[in-house]
Amino acid sequence: MDDFLEILQASLPEIIGGLILAAILAAVAAVYNKHGQLHALWRRLFRRKCVEIDRTTQVVVQPFLDHSELLGRFQFTRERVIARVHEEYEPVYSDDIRSAFDELNVKKRSKGLNGYYPGPRFRPIAPPKISSINLELDLSPLNYAFVALMKDEEADSFTKQRVREALSKVREPLSAGLRSDHPHFNVHSYNILGTEICLMASDGFTLLRKRGKHVLTGKRRWDVSASGHPVPYDVTHDQLDLTRTVQREVEDEIGGISGDPRRIIFTGLHRNKTSGDIDLLAFWPIDDSAERLGKLITEKYPDQRTRIFKTTRRARESYVWDTDNLIIEFDGHIILQALQDEGVSLEDFVPEALACLELALMAHDRPTLGLALS
């Protein structure tokens, strides 16, 4: 009996320590299992080993590209983005413009490229009004044929001149509040409004995509998760609901993701000074994990998160069937290291994508790319 007491006395600290540790582990498991997150936590900790970076390294401020113009920074929900549509200022889609557009598509298809889709998009006809309260945009419809004929290298100078003449004629005289001499935001402009969308998966990853050969601008350049233009479907009571644009573009380009559109946040308005593209930047925290996001776009999702992989599942939008993809932790340091490992530089991105990604990282208080945003 005395021997047993001596052994018990000697082992008591270890027994108590073990019981305390077991209790702590049980409590942690209970908390995470309550939300179904224990396995996700383990997977997330394991994934961090895929990309090793030196956290002590000083982040170098990257100069922002010369052809990038960030027109405004903000964090607005849908109700604070007011995009009025003025149908009366739509240029006439005449038979000669239609004929020239059809000829352009014949040339594209003869080279194995997709033709462009005609149909109304929306162009800013006055300078945007950005305040601490909201963003206001005044837009008019413009058939995409005008855009393609002005921006595609296959269109000749004579055709472009015919397009300019058509743009100079609107059916109604501009109201006083919309008259503008701004070089980029006026009734003669053919630069339409687009969206850039940065998705953040439930386990803290994002999708970056390399654009294919069929797009009008930014061919073979890297982009954020999805991008595209508002269409008439997105208009309600003469205003664009740009969250509908975000939802539709993500569904068309990736597939049926799970996410609450009320969580979409618009972070900035950007102009590409080379292409003239004007984009409203957005991020969307979704409910899907990185793994499910990957399985929507490829049959064989790679285990290594820094590996670039091909799109093999075809979405509704044919322009993204030839994209490359990278699913990477939503962390600027890790993204920069992964891009370096894959031989990709920031100059390989369209500038609107970099602005969109940087503002999304800032909004989530994550380490950024270190861009010197103006």
User: Low-confidence residues of the chain, pLDDT below 70?
Assistant: 1-65, 303-305, 374
* Chain mean position to CA 276: 18
How many Cα neighbours within 13 Å face the side chain of 140?
24
**Run of H or E residues at 75:** strand 68-76
> Tokens 């305040």 belong to which residue?
131
To 5 degrees, how large is the angle CA 308–CA 313–CA 318? 100
Burial class (CB in 10 A: 0-12, 13-18, 19+), 278: buried
- Tell me which residue has tokens 């919309």: 178
How many Cβ atoms are within 10 Å of 319's Cβ, its own excluded? Answer: 19
CA triple 257-363-348, angle to 5 deg: 75
What is the reported pLDDT for 177?
84
Beta carbons of 353 and 222 less than 8 angstroms apart: yes
Q: Give the Å distances, CA to CA, from 150 to 69, 153, 217, 272.
A: 21, 8, 12, 16
Question: Where do the DSSP E strands lie in 211-352?
Answer: 222-223, 226-228, 235-236, 239-240, 265-272, 278-285, 309-310, 324-329
- Tell me which H or E stretch contains 265: strand 265-272
CATH, domain 68-78+192-236+249-363, list 3.40.50.300, 3.90.79.10, 3.20.20.370, 3.40.50.1820: 3.90.79.10
d(CA 359, CA 235): 26
The predicted structure's pLDDT at residue 174: 82
pTM attached to this predicted model? 0.82
Domain-wise residue ranges, the chain:
25-58, 68-78+192-236+249-363, 80-178
Element (H, E) at 271: strand 265-272
Rg (C-alpha) for the chain, rounded Å, is 26
